[in-house]
Structure 1
């Protein structure tokens, strides 16, 4: 892969994970009017209405799915769409943002571990160092530089929910890599969202969502629309495209961009103060992403010389 295309993929992954940061803010707005499963269902139902026409227009020769393929699509919908999002919005409602963010920040480590074990993806020292640098930056941002804050947390039932979110997203990323060997990022995302929406419907109905429709604020509807279009349709397609091209382990490093963008957006839209710790943490994240995704120039030059020599 030439460097120009490589940087384009990195740019796509950065944009995708940046939009996910906005889900923290949009989720906080939507949760004031709707329950967690209902938000998830409305978000992905809206995304499905857009994704299926896009897939039919853009993908001309879609391979016919086998029973095994349908099973994998269903697993993607169950893990990364249904369970993950119910856990995410439950945490938005019942867990401190600091704790939620820390659990989500642990995702890249689990994805890298599972990718190495089950997908046999090569994980270099630079990948690990980059991931640790980025994680240190995320922790600095979340705790506002007060690392001792972590010691004050006590184990609660909501922690199981947060753990469920981390595990299901890691499974979604790793399973997605398998599906992407046969299908494009658009097809994989569309079928996953379709199944996820079906799984979310009965859970949403248990929350009696129609009672909240009439009283929901316009800001809640706009938040759901934003999550449907930008966070899901655009973000998920770009993320899966990145996994397809550079692997789940390396792509997962970009998830660390998410809390940085969440803090930046909170500063712009919610009037929160941008602290020195946030700036330092953001620099750590950027350094971590650069180190974790770059290849030693000497190796690249040696390979190029060997090809031309």
Structure 2
């Protein structure tokens, strides 16, 4: 289990750093077109690797009943809602809303995957979210607007896609599921991006293309593969807790790479984030709480079974 946690930590470290690299690349490429190009590079990397290792397999037609909605919800709707929301919502508010994803995933996992939500996970999540408020929050709170609704929708689609991927990997190898879902998702995003943001707006700088390709392969291809494999081993709810570390990593990466100042209150919040993740993922169990009295949602009367 420790190895799985370290691999999840590696993924979150890369994804947290990706905010910094993304802020650099968004000055060279239009946002939605940037997402489409990165997804294309990621798809090519995964397909090439699968082909060279002969791990690419034909799927049962019923598997596409999850793969196609996964690409539509987790990639097309998620990316469109996120970038549309950012047109009117600042990055700080968007980050705060997106930090609700781990709690949302845990709740959805308790309903659709029957994963128990222990008191330790709830306490750790609360502590981590409190830390996120210090790192990326503002004292004036959130102002509800149409942009806020879009960002909230982006958070929800991300949470739903995590649950769908976890369900899919119950009968499909995580690597195969990652390849197919990425290719299908990119195939949906590319036409929308090309129509909205023509290709003549791309950056002519070589360094920008190198950074785009490198981040696509490592942060979206490799990390996506590792994450989905570990998701099957530790569970969606517990794995999602690590996502709380992203603002902390982004803050450190911004300081090192861009010279963004770090305030004392941000450091204080980071301690809460790390403490919350440690609390929520600790293997120390109390028999009364972890075995006899897990907090889980009651089994719904008619939850549709996966195809």
Measured against the shorter chain, the TM-score band is 0.7 to 0.9
- Alignment CA distance shift 1:166-1:298 (3 Å): closer
Aligned mate of 1:235, from 206, 223, 233: 223
Distance change (3 Å), C-alpha of 1:17 and 1:93: farther
CA contact (8 A) 2:100 2:155 kept: yes
Equivalence for 2:178: 189
Match of 1:245 in 2: 233
Please report how far the alpha carbon of residue 70 of structure 1 lies from its aligned counterpart in structure 2 after TM superposition: 1.1
Return closer, same or farther for 1:219/1:262 CA change in 2, 3 Å cut-off: farther
Q: Runs of 5+ in structure 1 lacking a partner?
A: 1-5, 304-309
Question: 2: CA distance between counterparts of 1:55 and 1:203?
Answer: 27
1:257 to 245, 264, 271: 245
Judge which range, 261-270 or 287-296, deviates more.
287-296
Most deviating of 108-117 and 84-93: 84-93
Deviation of 1:100 after TM superposition, in Å, equals 1.1
Judged with a 3 Å threshold, the aligned counterparts in structure 2 of structure 1 residues 139 and 23 are, in CA distance, closer, same or farther, namely same
* 8 Å contact from structure 1 (residues 130, 292) kept in 2: yes
| CA distance 1:61–1:31, shift in 2 (3 Å) | closer
Partner residue, 2:139: 148
Aligned counterparts of 2:135 and 2:54: Cα–Cα separation in 1: 41
- The CA deviation string for residues 84-109 of structure 1, in whole angstroms up to 9 with x for no partner, is 22333444554211101101101001
Partner of 1:68: 62
- Give 1:1-309 correspondences, 5 Å limit: 6-58=1-53, 60=55, 62=57, 64-92=58-86, 94-143=88-137, 148-150=139-141, 153-213=142-202, 215-296=203-284
TM-score by length of 2: 0.87
In the TM superposition, residue 298 of structure 1 has moved relative to its aligned partner by 6.1
* Aligned residues between the structures: 290
Deviations 1:216-270 (A, max 9, x none): 4445434422431122012211211121101101111000011111111110111
Map of 1:307 onto structure 2? none
- Give 1:55 deviation, angstroms: 2.0
Q: CA RMSD in A?
A: 2.3
Change (3 A) 1:69 1:189: same
Q: Which ranges in structure 2 are unaligned for 5 or more consecutive residues?
A: 292-307
Distance in 2, matches of 1:208 and 1:141, equals 33
Q: Deviations over 1:130-165 (max 9, x none)?
A: 11111111111113xxx5231xx3222211220121
Structure 1 range deviating more: 112-121 or 154-163: 154-163
CA contact (8 A) 1:137 1:280 kept: yes
CA contact 2:30–2:197 (8 Å) conserved in 1: no
Query: Given that residues 166 and 236 in structure 2 are in contact (C-alpha distance below 8 angstroms), is that contact kept between their aligned partners in structure 1?
Result: yes
Residues 48 and 190, structure 1, Cα contact 8 Å, conserved in 2: yes
Structure number having the greater helix percentage: 1
Distance 1:204 1:114, change over 3 A: same
